[in-house]
Every structure is written in C-alpha cells, then in structure tokens.
C-alpha cells in the first residue's frame, strides 16, 4: 500500500523490492530497478545526496502546533479518562520556596506531596505499585491544592482546607498524622508531647517514624514536631526545608513557642 502525500490517495502498487502475493497465493519478489548507466554514477550520487538532506515529502507544509490546542486536547483527555473511570491518580508539579513539589491526588483527596530530592519518577512508580497504575498528569484537578500551597508560602494561609487521603499510612502512623494538623501555625511540639497527645507517652520514637514517613508534608505539618531539646530532628525534605517552614510560620505569626506539654 502506497500513500500519495500530495493527494492522500492510496494504491495497491508494491514498492520496489518489496515481496507481493499473486492471485494464486504465491509470494513473489518484486523486480528491482537496476541503473543502466555504467559510465558514471554522478547523477545517481547527486540525487541520493539531495534526497537525504531534504525534508520527507508531505512534511514541508506542516504548521507549528498551537500550545492552546495542546492544552485543550489534554483537558479533553483528562475529562474522558475521568468519565470512563480510567483515572485513579492525578498529579502535577508546582514551584515553591523549597524547590519543585510533586502533588498527587486520588478521588478521595490529596494523597502525596513529594520533594524533588525524593525523585519524582520514583514517587510516581511507588504510587503506581501501591495504589494504581492508572496515573495521569492532570494539573487542573490539582488546582485547588496548588492554590492553597501558594497562599501558604506567601503568608496568607495558615491552615489547609483540602481533603486528604491517608491511604499510604496505617495504624499508629496514621493516628499521629491525623493529629499533626492540630498543632497550631507558628508553634511546635516535641515528639514526646505528640506521643502523649495521641495516648501513647512512651512512643516518642514511633512518632518520629510517623513524621519521617508522612506522605503529605507541609499540608500535614510534621515540620512542627521537634526534639525535646529544641533540635530540629529529621525531615523528609531535609533539615534546611524544615527550618525554612518554621521560619516562615514564625515570621507570619505574632509569636511562636515550643510547647512540650
């Protein structure tokens, strides 16, 4: 089958050198055209050079793609995937004072906030493995989360109104993570104090583990949990990121204190 790039018509003529099948069902090799000019190869060489450097026939007149058309197509694909229940996890990236952040959400709510140092590809692969491989970049579906994070970083928001999905946590870790939003903006609690607040005073180390594995940093504010001696403790985004968040909140509130309860 040959497609004429100028007219768009298709014919059944075989290309030179391509095997065909006759009416009796026997495969036959199409004859090759052999140059008859044995005195010089100049014309043949010039033709081959020209063909190799010129654009393929039919592609010269292609117009550049309008980014607005790409965005419109992307939006239609996202709607179609959602309507047909083909989308389980939507994701996008946003800029922040801490560097790029990956946001991911299920139909139940925000399920993951990841720092660049975690490796976005690795995070998406983990989500596909643990939750569902039906993941699609769908920025529009995460606009509310992106907007609230921007407001937080500019100091106009002190708490988040987003639905969250803590499916990546369970047991005591999830108990701790559900408590963390109760720590007030601009304030901190020690790991020991949080353990006491959730009913297990001897579980300071387990509280540390729950904070270190928090799938929703910033939104679920594990950065507000510090060591009893005032040290920062660990943080998924690194201690510099943790200090940046605490400084941001303290500068945006009248007074920040450490409450060991």
Give pLDDT < 70 ranges for the chain: 1-63, 68-86, 254-261
pLDDT in tens, 207-251: 999 999 999 999 999 999 999 988 999 899 999 999 999 999 998
- Report CA torsion sign: 252, 235, 104, 171: negative
Q: What is the pLDDT of residue 10?
A: 46
Structure tokens at 130: 């643990």
Contact 136, 90 (CB under 8 A): yes
Q: What is the pLDDT of residue 23?
A: 42
Of residues 202, 217, 146, 145, the one with CA closest to residue 172: 202
Of residues 167, 242, 172, 179, the one with CA closest to residue 210: 172
Q: How many other C-beta atoms are found inside a 10 Å radius of the C-beta of residue 130?
A: 10
3-state SS record for 150-205? HHHHCCCCCCCCCCECCCCCCHHHHHHHHHHHHCCCCCEEEHHHHHHHCCCCCCHH
> What topology is assigned to 169-261 in CATH?
Arc Repressor Mutant, subunit A (1.10.10)
Q: What is the pLDDT of residue 109?
A: 97
Structure tokens at 246: 């605490």
Which listed CATH number (3.40.50.1820, 3.40.190.10, 3.30.160.70, 3.40.630.90) goes with 67-168? 3.30.160.70
Query: What is the full DSSP assignment across 118-139?
Result: G-HHHHHHHHHHHT-S-EEE-G
- What residues contact residue 5 under an 8 Å CB cut-off, 6+ apart? 56, 57, 58, 59
Q: What is the pLDDT of residue 46?
A: 47
Question: Which of 222, 226, 246, 248 does the annotation list as catalytic?
Answer: 222
Provide the b/e sequence for 138-150 (b: ≥16 CB within 10 Å).
bbebbeebbebbe
* Known catalytic residue at 211: no
Task: Show me where the domains of the chain are located.
Answer: 67-168, 169-261
Q: What is the pLDDT of residue 252?
A: 78
Helix 204-212 / helix 171-179 crossing angle, nearest 10 deg: 80
Q: In 3-state terms, what secondary structure has residue 107?
A: coil
Q: What is the pLDDT of residue 3?
A: 41
């Amino acid at each position: 089958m040959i497609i004429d790039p100028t007219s768009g018509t298709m014919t059944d003529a075989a290309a030179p050198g391509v095997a065909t099948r006759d009416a009796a069902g026997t495969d036959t090799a199409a004859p090759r055209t052999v140059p008859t000019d044995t005195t010089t190869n100049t014309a043949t060489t010039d033709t081959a050079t020209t063909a190799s450097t010129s654009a393929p026939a039919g592609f010269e007149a292609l117009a550049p793609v309008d980014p607005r058309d790409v965005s419109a197509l992307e939006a239609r694909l996202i709607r179609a995937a959602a309507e047909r229940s083909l989308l389980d996890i939507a994701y996008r990236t946003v800029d922040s004072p801490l560097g790029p952040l990956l946001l991911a959400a299920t139909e139940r709510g925000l399920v993951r906030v990841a720092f660049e140092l975690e490796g976005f590809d690795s995070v998406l692969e983990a989500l596909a493995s643990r939750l569902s491989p039906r993941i699609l970049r769908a920025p529009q579906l995460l606009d509310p989360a992106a907007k609230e994070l921007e407001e937080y970083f500019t100091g106009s928001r002190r708490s988040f109104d987003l639905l969250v999905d803590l499916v990546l946590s369970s047991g005591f870790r999830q108990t701790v993570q559900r408590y963390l939003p109760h720590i007030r903006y601009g304030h901190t609690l020690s790991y020991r104090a949080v353990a006491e607040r959730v009913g297990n005073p001897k579980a300071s180390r387990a509280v540390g583990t729950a904070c270190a594995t928090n799938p929703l940093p910033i939104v679920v504010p594990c950065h507000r949990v510090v060591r009893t001696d005032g040290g920062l403790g660990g943080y998924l985004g690194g201690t510099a990121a943790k200090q940046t968040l605490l400084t941001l909140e303290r500068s945006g509130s009248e007074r920040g204190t450490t409450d060991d309860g």
